[in-house]
């Protein structure tokens, strides 16, 4: 067991836990940063991770940490990354609960979050751009070539998701649909 890697895994996920404001999807930009910094997992792995997290119980962020940790260092890595992710939450929330009765009412806290919320949307958008690039395009020697079948399926599902009546369906059902289409049409 590599002690330095264990510490690094805990440290990197602790930073994600400390800076990802707004839960699940907010961890995505940070998880993408990690694909550039380390060779723990690839962008393709990250896309699989999102699919698995969306279709299994539990909060998205935790599932992502467990899966990323598992990819890096097996079962033990999953536990280390998950504990790293929750560590700052436990500390910060206990401090807030203990000392700041009306944390939400504080005008500086409100101001900071009014600025952070739209920025988080932008960060998630930029991470999603990265996910789409590796999923909808195939990397060849001459650059990125569009994967037509994948783009069509993505566009169809996105259009369907805009229909009010279809919005109540669970993401797992859409992913099941994707599995069937992928196998039938040999993506």
Partner 1 sequence: MNEYMQLYMAFLRIGLLTFGGGLAMLPMLKYELVEKKKWITEEDLLDCYAIGQCTPGIIAVNTATYVGYKRKGIAGGIVSTLGMVTPSLVIITLVAICLQAFIENVWVQHALMGVRAVVCALMLNTVLTLAKKSLKNAFCAAVCAAAFALAMFVDIPTVCIVLLAGAAGILLYSVGGKKQ
Shorter beta-carbon distance to partner 1: residue 5 or 22: 22
Question: At its nearest, how many Å lie between partner 1 and the CB of residue 20?
Answer: 6
According to CB under 8 A, which residues from 2 to 61 bind partner 1?
15, 17-25, 27-30, 33, 44, 47-48, 50-61
Considering only residues 154-183, where is the footprint of partner 1 by CB under 8 A? 154-155, 157-158, 161-162, 170-172, 174-175, 177-183
Report the C-alpha gap between 155 and 70 in whole angstroms: 32
CA atoms within 13 A on the CB side of 74: 3
* By the rule CB under 8 A, 145 interacts with partner 1: no
* Contact between residue 60 and residue 53 where contact means Cβ atoms under 8 Å apart: yes
Dig out the tokens for 117 from the structure.
């919320």
Six-digit token pair at 85?
Answer: 């992710």
Among residues 7 and 104, whose Cβ is nearest to partner 1?
A: 104
Say which DSSP state 55 is in: T
Q: Judged by CB, which is closer to partner 1: 8, or 181?
A: 181
């Amino acid at each position: 067991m590599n002690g330095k890697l264990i510490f690094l895994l805990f440290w990197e996920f602790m930073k994600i836990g400390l800076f990802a404001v707004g839960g699940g999807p907010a961890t995505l930009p940070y998880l993408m940063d990690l694909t550039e910094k380390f060779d723990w997992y690839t962008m393709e792995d990250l896309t699989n991770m999102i699919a698995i997290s969306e279709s299994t119980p539990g909060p998205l962020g935790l599932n992502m940490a467990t899966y990323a940790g598992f990819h890096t260092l097996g079962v033990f890595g999953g536990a280390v990354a998950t504990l790293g992710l929750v560590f700052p939450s436990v500390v910060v929330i206990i401090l807030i609960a203990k000392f700041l009765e009306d944390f939400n009412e504080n005008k500086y806290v409100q101001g900071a979050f009014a600025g952070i919320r739209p920025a988080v949307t932008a960060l998630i958008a930029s991470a999603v751009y990265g996910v789409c690039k590796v999923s909808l395009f195939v990397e060849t020697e001459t650059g990125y070539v569009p994967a037509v079948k994948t783009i069509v399926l993505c566009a169809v599902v996105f259009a369907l998701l805009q229909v009010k009546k279809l919005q109540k369906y669970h993401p797992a059902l859409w992913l099941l649909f994707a599995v069937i289409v992928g196998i039938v049409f040999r993506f």
